[in-house]
Each structure stands twice: as structure tokens, then as C-alpha cells.
Amino acid sequence: IDRYAVIGHPIGHSKSPAIHRAFAQATGQALEYDAIDSPPDAFVATVDRFRASGGRGVNVTVPFKLQACAYATDVSPAARAAGAANALKFDGQRCWAENFDGCGLVRDIRDNLGQRLRGRRVLLLGAGGATRGAILPLLEERPACLFVANRTVSKATALVAEFHAAGAPNSLQGGGYDDLGRGDRFDIVINATSASLTAEPLPLPASALHPDGLAYDMVYGKGLTPFLRQAQAAGMRQLADGIGMLVEQAAEAFAWWRGVRPATADLIRRLSTPLT
Ligand code: ATR
């Protein structure tokens, strides 16, 4: 039987086994999917052992996403731009690295939440790994503007400059929270900071947010985060957490490994927790 796994440290809380087993059942694919806790300094040995035991592919999570990129023989453009991989596929001596996080985000916003990205003003908060992975998939939708705002302004401007040097259009801009709220409002605001994990509010002016827009927090299972609360107080009507992004990136990986894309709507509904 074909074996898959998610590798991380710690790994106990991972929803990936439940998601991929549900996909396997729904699509009639015979496979095993486990969670592997790897010692932080033994990622390569853990992956090698899994391959030797018949592993066909893995998902990779904290803290191994960078190492996964370095491990692979073939790194996709998405993984290269993100500087990190969240999925590996093994094929003899070859190992392919992919990053489906940004693609999962776009699919959730566009297909599940029904928000067009093309021609809209999109605000992306944070300049870490989560933002890095989201930039190219968001730009592919051709927003009127994609503004990356970060607490440490130099990190946002450096990140944007790096993408411009690689050919990104001028619709991609970067700056600080002080730059927000003075110009036109944003239709779609995405929180890619780690602030929701520590329940910290962001210095986000209400005047930057469009009431008809969507506020999207990449974290999930945390209810109404300070960011979503801020967006709600600013009058934004559509609020979402990142559970749909998680399921959609998993569906992309499943399709990449198995050649069949599972339906996601029912599973997202089942895994969703109330935003209160
Ligand atoms: P990840 O790889 O998950 O994106 P990261 O690289 O540590 O994590 O980046 C975390 C991001 O959250 C950063 O953009 C960070 O801002 P700084 O670059 O200024 O540190 C942002 N962040 C974390 N806590 C924050 C807070 N309380 N307010 C604003 N931004 C915050």
C-alpha cells in the first residue's frame, strides 16, 4: 500500500492525517497517511527512513519547511519563491518539492468564499514565510493592488523589492501600517502575521478596510481573533479563518500525488469552528 505522512515537530495537533484519510476514502484511493514526529536535527534521516519503508510523499510542517526545500532534487517555482516546501513527492532517486499554501489560500478566497481577486485591492499583513508563499499565487489573480504591510517596515520593502527583481508587477507594493488608511480602502485583507497565535491586535486603521470586503485570518480554530474582531468593528461583513486554506492546500497535494482532486466543501464545513 502507498504510504504518505506529515512530518513536523511537534506533530500531535496536525489535522493532515484526518484530512488525507477522508480524501482517500472519498476518492477510493488505497493509501496510508500517518503523522511522524521528527527530532529537530534529524529531518533528513527521518525522510530517508520513510522513503526506504515505501513512502511515496510527505507533507512538511514547522520547523522543517526550509529543510524540505534543501532536501529536494527538484524545487517548483512556487516552493522556490516561498523559500519553503510543504509537500514532497518521491520518484526513485528524485524528490520533488512543492508549496501549495498560497494556492490553497487563493482557492479558498475565490472558489469557497466567492471573492473575486482580479481588479481588487488586496492587503497582506506580515512579511514572514506565510506572506512569502502567498505573493505569487495572489498576483496571478491580477489584483489592482497587492500591498504588503509589516510592523518592521524594512522587511516588507525588502521582500517586495526581491519579488520586483524577479519580475513581479508594480501592483505589488510594500510598507508599514502607517501607510494604510490614507489612500483607497482594501477589499480583501489577509492576516499572515503570527499575531493571532499570541492573540495580539494589529495597528490596523479601520479607514483602510472596505465594509463590502473580506477579512481573512490564516490561522484556524481560534475563533474570532483580534484581527477578525478589528475587521468586524470596522464594519467588514465577511470574515473567515484559515481552515479552508488548510483543506485546499491538502487537496492540491493529494491531487499532485494521486492524480485525482478530492471535493473539499463538506470537509471544510465539518472542520470549521464558529467565529465567535
Ligand atoms: P511566518 O513564517 O509564520 O510568517 P515569521 O517569519 O516569524 O513567521 O513572521 C511573523 C510575521 O508576523 C512577521 O511579519 C512579524 O512582524 P515583524 O517582521 O515586524 O516581526 C509579524 N508579527 C508577529 N507578531 C506581530 C504583532 N504583534 N504585530 C504586528 N506584526 C506581528
pLDDT digits (tens, 9 = 90+) for 196-211: 888 888 999 999 999 9
The ipTM value here is: 0.96
Q: Is 3 in the pocket of ligand 1 (CB under 6 A)?
A: no
Same fold, 2-99+244-271 and 102-241: yes
Q: What is the pLDDT of residue 196?
A: 85
Kindly list the catalytic residues: 65
pLDDT tens digits for 103-146?
999 999 999 999 999 999 999 999 999 999 999 999 999 999 99
Residue 181 has pLDDT above 90, yes or no: no
* Structural contact between residues 55 and 72, judged by C-beta atoms closer than 8 angstroms: no
CA dist list (Å): 112 to 106, 182, 263: 9, 31, 11
Average pLDDT, the chain: 96
Q: Which atom of ligand 1 is nearest to the CA of 192?
A: 4
CATH of domain 102-241: 3.40.50.720
Task: Confirm or reject: Cβ of 151 under 6 Å from ligand 1.
Answer: yes
Q: Is the CB of 25 within 6 Å of ligand 1?
A: no
Query: What average pLDDT does this structure show over 74-88?
Result: 96
Please state, in angstroms and rounded to a whole number, the distance separating the CA atoms of residues 258 and 29: 8
The residue-averaged pLDDT of 178-207 equals: 93
Give the amino acid at 198.
T
Query: pLDDT-derived band of residue 263, with 50, 70 and 90 as boundaries?
Result: very high
Asked whether the beta carbons of 42 and 12 are under 8 A apart, the reply is no
Please give the Cα distance from 99 to 64 (Å, whole number).
Answer: 13
Indicate if the pLDDT at residue 81 is higher than 90: yes
> What pLDDT is attached to residue 192?
97
**Annotation: CATH topology of 2-99+244-271:** Rossmann fold (3.40.50)
Ligand 1, atom 5, lies closest to the CA of: 128
Domain boundaries along the sequence of the chain: 2-99+244-271, 102-241
| 65, 86, 193, best to mutate for ligand 1 pocket (most atoms within 8 Å of CB) | 193
Residue 131 CA, ligand 1 centroid: distance in Å: 10
